[in-house]
């Protein structure tokens, strides 16, 4: 039963990590243009960062 | 006598677009921000072209096109360049840009979408982790070697995850339920909220008293499933909302006003007042209603009235907003602008017509009107029954009522109906049909009658040469060498029929009459009968023919007609075979409409309909109990599209018609109408099947719940399996052909 003491926190931590990553992606506008994202992957000249 | 205009006339891109400078916001760091709507954005290539035209400039800090909303966000160092200068290369590529103020437009709808997605994420996280713990508890109970201390510990952790998650992710349902309760009504969100809150609350109480059963997993899984359904549903709606916003932005077209001092200035249409003078270049749409002051030209009114042949205008003629100036520059004295125009009148008709449609109640809502009260009664009955007659204390009695609420919760329905919708929309999208109204598919499946517009719907919407066989190649080539100089629809049809022909030297166009060019021994002329000095013509044919006159030769006649779409007859037949009555309502002249109706075997038709006439006819049909599918493309069809039970318009239709229609189909064929109808009927069958499945599941599960035999494990299995079954059933729509008749392609 001592395994529970660290396995549960580890599982919860990993889950929270995924949740935080998703919320961050949502906040930074990565879900605003799903149609565009599907096409952008095919552009071959976008290897420099924006700006 | 006639005013002669030089051809072709070119115009700067700045003439027809509102000056973007007014929409630029410069922030404290000296960076300018501008938002624009890209009117004709189609694909990834367009995104790449626009961004590619802007990003190489060193002073541009951001240029990003959003393909979903067709908007361009642009930022640059304000000191380096003006907006017009920056945008010139994009306009040169052929994209029309309309600036807008994001603050005025950005309704809180986008923020609500994002909030819903956050709720889905939180509920998903909670559901996965609580389920992990619940499975351990069930396994422990099954093998009988988990002590109560461990069980309570796991319950407490579950509570720690589930309670905040419910409080956060349940808000969309709680708000809706609270709003509807305040009005003294009930909807499906009330039992959902009750089930989620009571399950979480009772589980907490059980955990505190160290009870064996906790429903935390059911509570959050329920939320997770329902939120997914809600999100899918919302996405379908937000597409329709985007289209409406788009239309609002397109109202921002500028008018070129000639000031009293002779200066020409681009002004927003809203700032134009009656009495002002507006210049309209050839190829531009008229921004206002007015009377021609100077200039002679022809005006294409097909989008407004459905009339195929262009109208000649001269000083004194009344012209309407939305019509297209073809030949020569015009100066128009404004008689009405903005709210007063014919266009605004049509918008008002649409709004009035669309209100009738709001009364339509979706299948799922009709179902839940009966279902929600039944669920409340069952749960209350279970609680009261066990408390009064079953001899239970209030806690176990309430637990049974909670189990009933969880079991009956329409999780399967909340997920399955939107799933059918999304799969159907996706399939139609791939066939080139855009589903714009969320409940459009349901309404289309009801249709028992179809009303067509003629010009641009049953026909291709442009004249084509019909007597090619009677003409010699030499005549055609000579005529085409003049015709390539003109924008007139008949001249264009002639050049299309002749193929590429070089332009003859010295061609001059006389607006409303025809073209002329010098040749050996005189002049060659191409134009209307009067222009070519031909007298014996058939009156009804005027406007659909051209004459060619060469020195010393007989005049030659070119006849034109707006051709039917290739599969018009097949599509009308296919619709009739599906039990739909067919009718034709057109704004065009009676002989032309009669000919088309005759060729398609349509018995009921009306000609010379005004927009209000079409609406009146549709309302008459509706009050006779018919559910009409309206198919049309013109501005004059837009109110009828909004008034009909369901509506479709082709992709080349006027913006306003596409906005009013439930579906927009692409391509030159009408078969998509039949395919969409078939798919909508299949979708409705699937939705009804899912209702039946959900009811069957309840018939089995509810007695078990009422008997108090449901444990959290049984609830979880029952809920997941029923959701899975209806979702899989919904996905069947992906398979199987859309049964477009093979002969429809003939």
The CATH code of the domain that includes B545 is 3.40.1110.10
- CB B96, CB B39: distance < 8 Å: yes
pLDDT at position B583, please? 93
Give yes or no for B125 touching A (CB within 8 A): yes
| Residue B76 token pair | 């640059």
Please check whether residue B514 is in contact with residue B545, taking contact to mean a CB–CB distance below 8 angstroms: no
* DSSP-assigned letter for residue B458: I
Whether residue B586 sits in one domain with residue B519: no
Q: Which residues of B touch A8 (CB under 8 A)?
A: 133, 157
Alpha carbon of B270: minimum distance to chain A alpha carbons (Å)? 31
Can you give the three-state secondary structure of B508-549, one letter per residue?
EEECCCEEEEEECCEEEEEECCCCCCCCCCCHHHCCCEEEEE
**Structure tokens belonging to residue B715:** 């609830």
Q: How many domains does chain B have?
A: 4
HSE-CB at B159 with a 13 A cutoff on CA atoms is 19
CATH of the domain at B439: 3.40.50.1000
B591 in the same domain as B515: no
Structure ipTM over 0.90, yes or no:
no
Taking an 8 Å cut-off on Cβ atoms, the answer to whether B121 and A23 are in contact is yes
Query: What is the CATH classification number for the domain harbouring B71?
Result: 3.30.70.100
Measure the CA dihedral B39/B42/B48/B49, to 10°.
Answer: -60
Among B644, B677, B710, where does a domain finish?
A: B677
Which residue has 């017009």 as its token pair?
Answer: B84
- Tell me how far apart the terminal alpha carbons of chain B are, to the nearest angstrom: 51
Asked whether the beta carbons of residue B118 and residue A33 sit closer than 8 angstroms, the reply is: no
Catalytic residue among B453, B562, B662, B678: B453
Contact A32 B68 (CB under 8 A): yes
Complete DSSP assignment for B347-370: HHHHHHHHHHHHT---HHHHHHHH
In a shared domain, residues B559 and B472: yes
Q: Is residue B357 part of a domain?
A: no
Same domain, B470 and B448: no
- Same domain as B539, residue B471: yes
What is the rounded average pLDDT for all residues in chain B?
81
Residue B630 lies in a domain: yes
Q: How far apart are CA A24 and CA A18, in angstroms?
A: 10
pLDDT of residue B540: 54
Q: Does A12 touch chain B (CB under 8 A)?
A: yes
Stretch A19-45: mean pLDDT: 83
pLDDT value at residue B658: 77
The answer to whether residue A7 neighbours chain B at the CB level (below 8 Å) is: no
Q: Are residues B31 and B64 in the same domain?
A: yes
What's the rounded Cα separation, in Å, for the pair B559 and B541?
8
Q: Rounded to an integer, what is the distance from CA B42 to the centroid of its chain?
A: 15
Whether B67 and A39 lie within 8 Å, measured CB to CB: yes
The residues, any chain, with a CB within 8 Å of residue A24's CB and separated by 6 or more, are none
For residues B515 and B536, membership in a common domain is answered with yes
Query: At B331, which CATH number?
Result: 2.70.150.10
In chain B, the largest separation of any two C-alpha atoms, in whole Å, equals 116
Q: Measured between CB atoms, does A32 come within 8 Å of chain B?
A: yes
Chain B residues in contact with A22 by the CB 8 A cut-off are 121
Task: Say yes or no: B445 and B546 in one domain.
Answer: no
Residue B630 near residue B655, CB atoms below 8 Å: no
Tell me if the bond preceding B10 is cis, omega within 30° of 0. Answer: no
Find, in chain A, the residue whose alpha carbon is nearest to that of B121. A19
Distance, CA of B481 to CA of B479 (rounded, Å)? 5
Count of beta carbons in the 10 Å neighbourhood of residue A50: 11
Please indicate whether, in this complex, the C-beta atoms of B161 and A26 are within 8 angstroms of each other. Answer: no
Residues B310, B313, B318, B319: what is their CA dihedral angle, to the nearest 10 degrees?
Answer: 50
Residue A26 has its nearest CB partner, among B44, B114, B161, at B114
Q: Which residues of chain B have pLDDT under 70?
A: 1-19, 22, 40, 42, 101-109, 236-254, 270, 302-308, 338-340, 343, 353-360, 412, 511-512, 536-543, 655, 736-746
* 3-class secondary structure, B25: strand
pLDDT, position A47: 52
* Domain final residue pick, B301, B321, B340: B340
Measured CA to CA, the distance from residue B440 to residue B447 in angstroms comes to 11
Task: State which of B538, B563, B588 marks the end of a domain.
Answer: B563
Q: Does any domain span residue B661?
A: yes
Whether B152 sits among the annotated catalytic residues: the reply is no
Looking at the DSSP bridge assignments, the partners of residue B255 are B267
Domain match, B627 and B509 both: no
Same domain, B454 and B494: no
Domain span at residue B302?
254-340
What residues have CB less than 8 Å from B389, skipping those under 6 apart? none
Specify whether B457 is located in the same domain as B571: yes
């Amino acid at each position: 039963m001592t395994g529970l003491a660290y396995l549960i926190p580890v599982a919860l931590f990993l889950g929270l990590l995924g949740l935080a990553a998703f919320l961050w992606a949502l906040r930074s506008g990565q879900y605003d243009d799903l149609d565009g994202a599907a096409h952008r992957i095919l552009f071959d000249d976008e290897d420099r960062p924006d700006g | 006598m006639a005013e002669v205009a030089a051809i072709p006339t070119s115009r700067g891109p700045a003439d027809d677009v509102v000056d973007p400078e007014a929409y630029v916001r410069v922030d404290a760091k000296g960076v300018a921000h501008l938002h624009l709507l890209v009117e004709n954005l189609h694909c990834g290539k367009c995104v790449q072209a626009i961004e590619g035209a802007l990003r190489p400039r060193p002073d541009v800090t951001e240029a990003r096109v959003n393909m979903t909303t067709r908007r361009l966000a642009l930022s640059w160092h304000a000191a380096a360049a003006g907006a017009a200068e920056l945008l010139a290369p994009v306009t040169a590529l052929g994209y029309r840009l309309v600036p807008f103020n994001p603050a005025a437009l950005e309704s809180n709808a986008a923020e609500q979408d994002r909030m819903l997605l956050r709720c889905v994420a939180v509920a998903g996280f909670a559901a996965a982790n609580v389920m992990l713990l619940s499975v351990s508890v069930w396994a422990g109970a099954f093998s009988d070697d988990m002590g109560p201390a461990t069980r309570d510990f796991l319950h407490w952790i579950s509570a720690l995850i589930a309670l905040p998650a419910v409080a956060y992710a349940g808000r969309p349902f709680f708000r809706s339920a609270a709003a509807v309760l305040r009005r003294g009504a009930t909807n499906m969100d009330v039992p959902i909220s009750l089930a989620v809150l009571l399950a979480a609350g009772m589980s907490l109480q059980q955990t505190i008293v160290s009870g064996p059963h906790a429903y935390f997993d059911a509570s959050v899984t329920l939320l997770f499933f329902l939120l997914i359904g809600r999100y899918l549903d919302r996405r379908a709606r937000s597409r329709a909302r985007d289209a409406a916003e788009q239309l609002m932005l397109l109202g921002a077209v500028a008018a070129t006003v000639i000031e009293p001092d002779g200066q020409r200035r681009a002004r927003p249409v809203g700032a134009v007042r009656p009495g002002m003078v507006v210049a309209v270049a050839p190829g531009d749409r008229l921004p206002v209603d007015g009377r021609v002051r100077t200039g002679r030209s022809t005006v294409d009114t097909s989008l407004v009235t459905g009339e195929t042949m262009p109208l000649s205008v001269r000083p004194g003629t009344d012209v309407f907003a939305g019509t297209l100036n073809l030949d020569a520059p015009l100066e128009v004295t404004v008689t009405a602008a903005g709210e007063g125009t014919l266009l605004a009148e049509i918008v008002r008709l649409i709004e009035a017509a669309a209100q009738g449609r709001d009364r339509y109640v979706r299948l799922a809502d009709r179902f839940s009107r009966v279902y929600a009260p039944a669920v409340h009664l069952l749960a209350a009955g279970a609680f009261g029954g066990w408390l009064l007659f079953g001899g239970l204390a209030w806690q176990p009695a309430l637990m049974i009522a909670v189990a009933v609420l969880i079991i009956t919760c329409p999780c399967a329905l909340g997920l399955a109906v939107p799933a059918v919708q999304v799969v159907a929309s996706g399939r139609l999208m791939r066939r080139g049909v855009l589903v714009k109204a969320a409940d459009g598919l349901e309404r289309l499946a009801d249709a028992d009658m179809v009303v067509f517009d003629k010009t641009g719907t049953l026909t291709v919407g442009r004249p084509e040469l019909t007597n090619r066989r009677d003409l010699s190649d030499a005549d055609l080539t000579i005529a085409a060498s003049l015709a390539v100089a003109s924008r007139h629809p008949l001249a264009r049809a002639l050049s299309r029929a002749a193929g590429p022909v070089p332009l003859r030297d010295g061609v001059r166009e006389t607006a409303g009459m025809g073209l002329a060019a010098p040749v050996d021994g005189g002049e060659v002329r191409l134009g209307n009968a009067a222009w070519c000095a031909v007298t014996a013509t058939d009156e009804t044919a005027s406007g659909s023919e051209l004459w060619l006159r060469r020195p010393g030769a007989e005049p030659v006649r070119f006849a034109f007609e707006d051709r039917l779409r290739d599969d018009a007859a097949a599509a009308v037949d296919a619709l009739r075979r599906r039990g739909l009555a067919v009718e034709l309502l057109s704004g065009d002249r009676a002989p032309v409409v009669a000919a088309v109706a005759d060729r398609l075997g349509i018995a009921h038709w009306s000609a010379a309909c005004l927009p209000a006439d079409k609406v009146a006819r549709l309302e008459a049909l509706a009050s006779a109990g018919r559910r009409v599918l309206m198919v049309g493309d013109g501005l004059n069809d837009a109110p009828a599209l909004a008034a009909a039970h369901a509506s479709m318009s082709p992709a080349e239709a006027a913006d306003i018609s596409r906005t009013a229609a439930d579906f927009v189909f692409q391509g030159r064929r009408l078969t998509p109408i039949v395919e969409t109808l078939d798919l909508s009927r299949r979708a409705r069958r699937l939705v009804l099947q899912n209702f039946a499945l959900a009811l069957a599941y309840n018939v089995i599960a509810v007695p078990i719940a009422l008997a108090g035999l449901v444990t959290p494990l049984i609830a979880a299995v029952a809920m997941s399996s029923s959701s899975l079954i209806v979702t899989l059933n919904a996905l069947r729509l992906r398979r199987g052909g859309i049964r477009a008749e093979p002969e429809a392609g003939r």
